[in-house]
Homo-oligomer: A and B are copies of this chain.
Amino acid sequence: MDPKDATQSASCSTVCVNNPHLDAMKDDILYHFSLGTRTHDLPNMFGDVKFVCVGGSPWRMKSFNEYIAAELNMEDPKSEYPNICAGTDRFAMYKTGPVLSVSHGMGVPSIAIMLHELIKLLHHARCTDVTIIRIGTSGGIGLEPGTVVITKQSVDATFLPKFEQVILGKTVVHNTDLDQSLAEELLQCSKELNQFETVIGNTMCTLDFYEGQARLDGAFCSYTEKDKQDYLNKANKAGVCNIEMESAVLAAMCKLSGLRAAVVCVTLLDRLKGDQLSSSHEVLQNYQQRPQILVGSYIKKQLRARAGRS
């Protein structure tokens, strides 16, 4: 191998921070994780991480950590699985072997804070070959509730695959493509599982849950039922399978840092038929486990394949 190729390949597999100022900092405080380079031995704590699973709810990420520990036969019956971010209530973080589970709250700004600090954490910990997967919930469009959607592209409220960010008062536009081979591998995994319907499609990412997603049941609504249906039908025709609130910035930031990324969300309802989450607690709980089951199975398969190669 040409030495230049080796360098490129090595630099590709690490987690890129694109910030020349970081090197000059003596200490880096990851404030919203309550972690830092001076106070914590990040390479020792996180150096072996290969998969990061993220989701809005701290309870769901705790439960995913317990699920993956059992799947990988790494559960410790005596352990309570400590929350690594116990010093703060902004995010929750759990770890089992090479799998890190982190909550990100609701909406683009919340997950962006988490991702900035997660990317720095993976960089400081000198992690390599990291895959990040969001396991979330969403509203479906024209799909049976409970269907799992693997995102092809994250699109905005005008159905365009872009994420706009304001830096120093100026708008910067980012691409929101996700890793297509990872999406295909996840779809294949779901076919093998054969437990629930899974599709690959576009995901609309909005900044608001009510009017931003054409709901009729918010505190305010300035449009008619027909306006709503027209908009959602237009989205459907543009290839939008589901709507959630975090995929755009996850796609953009993971692309910028060279992380393989996927978004796997279950649809809790069909938005063409309603707005309220009126299914029973048990049904919604069952749906919410589907992305966990799929991603758990994928991680297990990947780790087995790697163990077989080594």
Give residues in A with beta carbon < 8 Å to B.
Answer: 17-22, 25, 27-29, 31-32, 56-59, 89-90, 105-110, 112-113, 115-117, 119-120, 123, 156-159, 165-169, 172, 206-212, 214, 216-223, 225, 227-228, 231, 234, 245, 253, 256-257, 276-278
Contacts and interface: CB of A to CB of B under 8 A. Distances in A.
A212 B206 CA distance: 18
A21 B221 contact: yes
Contacts of A57: 89-90
Given A58-B89, A276-B29, A166 B212 contact: yes
19 contacts: A18-B220, A21-B217, A21-B221, A21-B225, A22-B221, A28-B276, A31-B277, A32-B106, A108-B109, A109-B208, A109-B212, A116-B218, A116-B220, A166-B208, A168-B214, A169-B231, A219-B253, A219-B257, A220-B257
Would you list the 4 A-B pairs with minimal beta carbon distance, nearest first? A107-B109, A119-B219, A19-B221, A21-B216
A167 B109 contact: no
Interface hub of A21, A90, A123 (most chain B Cβ within 10 A)? A21
A29 B278 CA distance: 7
Contact of A165 (B27, B208, B227): B208
A116 B210 CA distance: 8
A258 to B, nearest CB: 11
A105 B32 CA distance: 12
Contacts of A31: 276-277
A245 to B, nearest CB: 6
